[in-house]
Structure 1
Amino acid sequence: MFTPIHTQEFAELAKQKIAEFNALHWDVSKRQQLGLKLENESGELLAALAGRTFGHWFYLESLWLDESVRGKGVGSKLLAEAERIAKERGCSFVILDTLDFQARPFYQLHGYRVEWTQPNYPFTGCKHFMTKQL
């Protein structure tokens, strides 16, 4: 019988088990986290980007900007720096996903294209999966 366990800790354990399995089939030693941040003088976070590089791919997981820095070029510079680091690590492509109310136009402005759109996500919106060749 299956035991329900709806915790973040268990989700992380499941991810770890998949990572262990994957390591049997490819060299994961080159998988690296990629993170960038911008803070103000007080140490408050104004911008954050997080993802990971592996093989030819940079998976951009998160890009967030505080309202006070939006529309001022900070996001463009942050994205360009992450792409530069990814290229330096040997990546040729970027993949990301963004919700319909988030940043699709921003990414398109920077050369990303929609590969696939998941409709009705999570209920009435949609999620766009986007890529870019570096």
Structure 2
Amino acid sequence: MIFTPVHTHEFADLVKQKIAEFNAQHWDASKRQQLGLKLENEKGELVAALAGRTFGHWFYLESLWLDEKVRGKGVGSKLLIEAETLAKARGCSFVILDTLDFQAKPFYERHGYQLEWTQQNYPFTGCKHFMTKRL
């Protein structure tokens, strides 16, 4: 048996598709939906964005990004609250996310998120925090 190395995004996507096909045999994923919000400035440039997906009782918040120019002005809080509201309207009761040690842990804590566990030495000397919130 010889395994062939394949280090591409396309291959990783293929593997994810194979897992999705297997999972579909065990649960109905048809209600899985993307959830995204954006804010653009007067020039049409992206200044804030949030992306994730909802499935069953859970909203997985994958990414929340703010341009330096809008940080500290309440934009992130409004963006997060709007996303939570949309997720709740879809029937979600919980949110899960992860954030790196230099990112937004205090921000999420201010919004009621609880630390579930911390992955140490990620990727080398930092850490990744996994957090949840009940909506």
TM-score category of the 2 structures, normalised to the smaller one = over 0.9
Residue by residue over 1:91-125, the C-alpha shift from the partner in whole angstroms, topping out at 9 and shown as x without a partner, is 00000000000000000000001000000000000
Taking the aligned partners of 1:9 and 1:52, their CA distance within structure 2 comes to 21
SS in 1 for 2:6: coil
Question: Which residue number in structure 1 is paired with residue 48 of structure 2?
Answer: 47
Taking the aligned partners of 2:17 and 2:73, their CA distance within structure 1 comes to 39
- Amino acid aligned to 1:59: Y
Taking the aligned partners of 1:4 and 1:26, their CA distance within structure 2 comes to 31
Q: How does 1:1-134 map to 2 (within 5 A)?
A: 1-134=2-135
SS in 2 for 1:29: coil
Deviation (angstroms), 1:17: 0.8
SS in 2 for 1:30: coil
SS in 1 for 2:7: coil
Structure 2 residue runs of 5 or longer lacking an equivalent are: none
- RMSD value, Cα: 0.5
Taking the aligned partners of 1:97 and 1:2, their CA distance within structure 2 comes to 32
Taking the aligned partners of 2:45 and 2:17, their CA distance within structure 1 comes to 31
Taking the aligned partners of 1:105 and 1:8, their CA distance within structure 2 comes to 32
Q: TM-score, normalising length from structure 2?
A: 0.98
Structure 1 residue runs of 5 or longer lacking an equivalent are: none
Taking the aligned partners of 1:94 and 1:28, their CA distance within structure 2 comes to 18
SS in 1 for 2:30: helix
